[in-house]
Structure 1
Amino acid sequence: MKSNFLYVVLFLGFTLSLSAQNPVTSSVDSTKIKIGSAFDLTIKTQTSEGDKVVFPDVKNIGPFEVIESSAIDTVLENRKMELIKKYTLTQFDSGKYTVPRLSILVNGKNYQTNLFDVEVTNVKVDTLKQKMYDIKSNMGSTTDTSSLIYYIIVLILCIVVGFAVYWFIKKQQSKNLTEDDLFKTPLERVSKKLQLLDGKRLIMNGDIKSYYSEITDITREYIEEVFEIPAKESTTSDLIKLLLQAVKTKKIKLSKEIIHDLKRVLETADLVKFAKSEPSYNEIENDRKKTETISISIDKALPKFAEEQSERVRLRERRYRKRKQMRTWIPIGVSALLLLITGGVYLFNSVKDGLEIDFFQSNKRLLKGEWVSSEYGFPGIVIETPEVLNRLELPNTTKKNKEENTAQFVYANAKTNLSITVHTTATQTDENTNAEDLMNQKLKMTEQILNAKDFKSDSEKFTLEGINGVRSSGTFEAVNPLSGKNELMQFEMYLFIQKNGIQEVAIMYNQGDEYGAKIAQRIVESIQLSVQTNE
């Protein structure tokens, strides 16, 4: 089926519309200019008030560059309307060029401007006074990154936002922490409180009773937290008994020396608080070191498995992990979401602007991409297309076709449902060769092979570069072999007959495809025919 479709589109062709009463006139203010000079192409339309007229919006007209496109000037007289559009054109290479026909749409109907031959002459250079230099080699160009820099800045901002969210959450968490939650572990809490106690300089101020009172409170609170015994309310002897019992029950390997040192520090504190004992400075310093050693030894001996730890310690660690997860994953999630949105916007804009991704191919990308101008077949047809057409050898080519030197070239895009075809035949024609009859045969063959429904077409004669031709355009509904779907298709077929050859060009695209229609218009405007002589 796909081969049949490609065979059919070989018979499709363009025309340039000319009607009996053409409302479009065109003129140029000069047919000879110097290199780099400019001339004006003026197009006028005679229409009624309320008619819709569309002028082409192009950057190049054939071989000429459009350096200025003026606003449309409107003249109203007796309910008649004259629209005037001017294009200022230039060319930077000498030679003889032709301003091609342009398509002007009046109420949806296509009218064509005239062809104009313009000669571009060289500027004389005084080589006696002006030094001449060798032409420099081409400098490598760089990709346009004007928009890419903004995306890089946004990516950096996404990461910065993540860090900002992290510090905000951490700051909010710090405001609502309990005394337990201020420290990661019980040992960290003991070490910090002992450092704060040293900073009070109670010993230097002679307040030994307060010093021992605080150091024992720190130790008792630590023991109560990790062993789950009432250490703060117990006497020294009761605390030691409860500690020994807890060590035995939980099978904690705590040395007797540590328990003895703990008992010694607590008893010294009791003597200071209740018997007004005054230990020496060396004894006080020794008790301070023992307190820290006792805390570290207990921490090392304690079980590290959650189910064996005290409930208070488990809750502390659970809250710590939860806070850590919040200030880690929420910032990462925020940054990831922003990065995803940025990437989505970048991908969308890239596809919209014509990024060449096969999955996202579109006729808009083809229209805005770099076009190729080439000559096909014999007699040759020079056209400009989005992609190079490939020569096609059909399996059912007849001996007669081979003798007549038939050449066929096609571009078919299954992603965008666009096909472009060129078909040339070098053969002798005579006065009896009727272009309209030949076009009708091709239309009927197209309708039959595609099994098309609602096949509608409109044909008209015209002349291009002195060669007679027929243009046919229309719509139909059929299963598109390229996509396998039942689709409404639109086609434009052009057929040219000269004495020693037949030239055909065709375009097919989805009905209502704005960019497919623009591609067809641009191809039509680029057509140049080679005239085959008897030689």
Structure 2
Amino acid sequence: MKKRLYILFLLISAFGFSQSMTSSVDSTEIKIGSQLNLILKAKVTLKDHVVFPERKFIGRLEVLESYPIDTIKDNDKLELIKKYGLTQFDSGVYKIPSIAVRINNKEYFSDSSSVRVNDVKVDTIVQPMFDIKPIVEVKKPASDWWKYVLFGLLVIGLGVLAYFIIKRIQKNKKEEAKGFASPIEKALVYSENLEKKSLWQNGKVKEYYSELTDIARVYIEESLSVPAMESTSNELYKALRAETGKRNIKISPSLLNQFNEVLKNADLVKFAKSQPIASEIEESKMIINEFLLSLDKATPRTQEEQDNLFQEEIRIKKAKKDKVIRAVLSIVVVIVFLFISLIVFARTIAYDYLKDNYIGHTSKELLEKEWVISEYGDPAIKIETPRVLKRTVDERVQQNLPPTVKSVGRFTYGSLIDNFSITLNTTTFKDSVALDKDIAIEANIKYLESVGAKNILVKVDDYEPKKGLSGKKAYGTFTVNNPIDKKEYKMAYEIVIFAQPNSAQEFFLIYKDGDKDAEKMMERVRNSIELKKSSL
């Protein structure tokens, strides 16, 4: 019995120690707007399911950032570490309440704690005070989308204009053929125009049948010389039978009878106010067209008619060819316009963009252009440069900061193989950590080696600019292979490290060795450096 109780006690103890949670804060006193970190640690087994809460506020403290969960593995045990970045913008003492962490659908609560948020002291005696200036509304810059639309419309308009100009030129070079090459062509064109009018669809059935039968009568009169327009439907039918028999025109009797029926139906519509349905109207149209085409095909052509048809065929082919020429020439005009625009763009805006981002400007160009003065990092480093330094963010670095580091910043212009490049690294520490400048210089030299620098010569001196804090500098030369032209270049560099109790700034300047303009730029940049001391 004692043995069983002992085993049960061991199981309970093992279960009790298999899951536990602790909490801590990295600071119990901060300034308004500063960040403190709440750290939750859960010790569990590999099989446990753990859920940390996601909130916008913890108590009255705002959650600036909820960091990813870190995991430390020890055999079959896990230590899960969840960090929350908190802040408050009002002074006072604030309680961090217990946080519920769900482990295997059971809630475990962290310890509560408190934090003091202090006011930022403002010296109202030494510093002059001014009235609050009115708010100035800054207009948001308009998007450039309309420029692209306008350019597209310009290109389309240019193409259309070129098309019609070329068409006008082609028309002036030749006289358009007038009339029709044959009676059947005239009949088909009139029939097509009749359908475009949509007469019977709009209730004008009588007008439709009148024009339809007139088209057929005109064709018969012009092709067979039969007085079709003055004949009644019955007289026209008899005349057609007689003429086709006399001229040995082989036309289907059934098709001739169908044509006669259409003529009779037309008479009923015109004189007896008959109202055929839509399918009957469509059938009448098809019979007329089929009859005219069959009659034209069966009728022997005179030499004059054959000549006219041959000329008409040539005219149609020429018209198609002219249309293709117009389209091709219009496209050529558009392509030439785009090509010229591309050249102008490449020689102006695009070339400057490539220089700013890829090729790099010459030292003389940078020296002669207007420079900019900007502040970077916190505490700020003020510097004058030929181009604004761009912030570069490495998410892996940001997510894996050492425990003593609060934030890092990196601002750059150019690269290692450019004519001239500048890099600023700023680091803010959580506590009053003193940066070892010698170790920092060694780390930067190793960084140069990692990015391809060889034959590095290093000289180290103390550095004290005209403005700001004292620092340390390393300078010298190195060689680097340019992957574009496969040549090796000798570069000069200068690294300056500034350290404060809670921050550090690293200043990189690299240029081609022997470049006098770059040396002048280096001196101008160096003389402009101004550091703002940390307020902590």
- TM (norm. structure 2) is 0.39
- RCO higher in 1 or 2 (8 Å CA, sep ≥ 6)? 1
